[in-house]
Structure 1
Amino acid sequence: MASDSVLKYLIDTNRPYSCADVTVNLRGAYTKGAVQKALDALSESGKIKCKLYGKQKVYAALQLENVQENTDTEDYDAQISSLSNILNDKNADLKKAEANIKNLTSAPTNDMTKSESAKIKDNIDKLEKKLNVLRDTTEVLSADEKKIILSEHEKYLKEYRKRKRICSDMLEAVLEGYPKSKKNFLEELCIETDEMVNFQLKTT
């Protein structure tokens, strides 16, 4: 009978199978419908266990001779859930440890820090010496003196621009009746413009 063959197969293999798996593994000795009917009957009689995973039923034989009394009532799903939570916690701890190791390995070593500190101190000493030399050899202006100098500079700068504009206007007026080019006119008068000598006026 299909029930005997199915039960013997599940006991011998001692593994959970679906109806399709059992049908295939019995090499077509019974139809899928007959196997399904046998599995349902064995499950109802308590000779095998049936568990539902999603929409699929999975069957496994009860190995009564290999288990102690009441062990078949143990909740393996709860164990799996508990172990999964423990695994997640361990993975989180592992990620934290890996991140900490990465930070430690990327940080400069004591020797590197000491070397960099020495370089900075040496640079500070050089700058302080240079500053002291400048203080000793350079006349320090007061705020009022600096203000006067800047005011004078601004006055002369405005006057320079005014005179340059007047010269440019005069030159353009003469060139209107001059038969040659502007370059020839300037050469005849021995005049050099700021642009010709690359002169750049500092405004500050």
Structure 2
Amino acid sequence: MVICYGIWYGISTSSAIVSASIILSYLNENNRPYSTQDVFGNLQKQHGFGKTAVVKVMEMLASQGKITEKVYGKQKIYFPDQSQFTDVSDSELKNLDNQISELNSKSQSVQQNCRQLETELKELNSSMTTEELISETEQLKKECKSYQERLQKIKLASNHVTPEEKEKVSLDFGDVPPLPPLGCLISSVPLPWSSG
């Protein structure tokens, strides 16, 4: 019967059989309503179905009674035949609700852990590697050695100003006013301490 419908709907028979089998098992596994666009979007990457082929196969499965088709305005919704599934008792539903609650709690915990690990990863990626730290340490040691050599040369120089000489100069020239601003010199403005 699939072969006849496959030819009638314009799909090659082998393609129709494979597509129908995959789409039917997908609908039965998920047991929820889907539009043709949903099925196409969910299976296209994995199986390479074209949208037209998905529409034709779903119409074919609905006409065979393997899935149910409901029309809401211009939208068609398809879902598996519910008679193939066993009835679920209230206790089983409560058990399933408890499992869902536990899984949601675990999921939130895993997501929080994932966020913490991502933050830690960002911190580690932004910090220096061991090689970079070694290189920077070597560079700083070289700079420190260079500064020490300069300091040693300055200490060994014979033209140091002793604290006594510094104090004597300060006492001798303590009343000298500061140098005038450069503008006064350039514009020939008389200096404030000059006479006239």
Query: Which protein shows a greater Rg?
Result: 1
Q: The TM-score by the shorter chain falls in which range?
A: 0.3 to 0.5
TM-score (norm 1): 0.43
TM-score (norm 2): 0.45
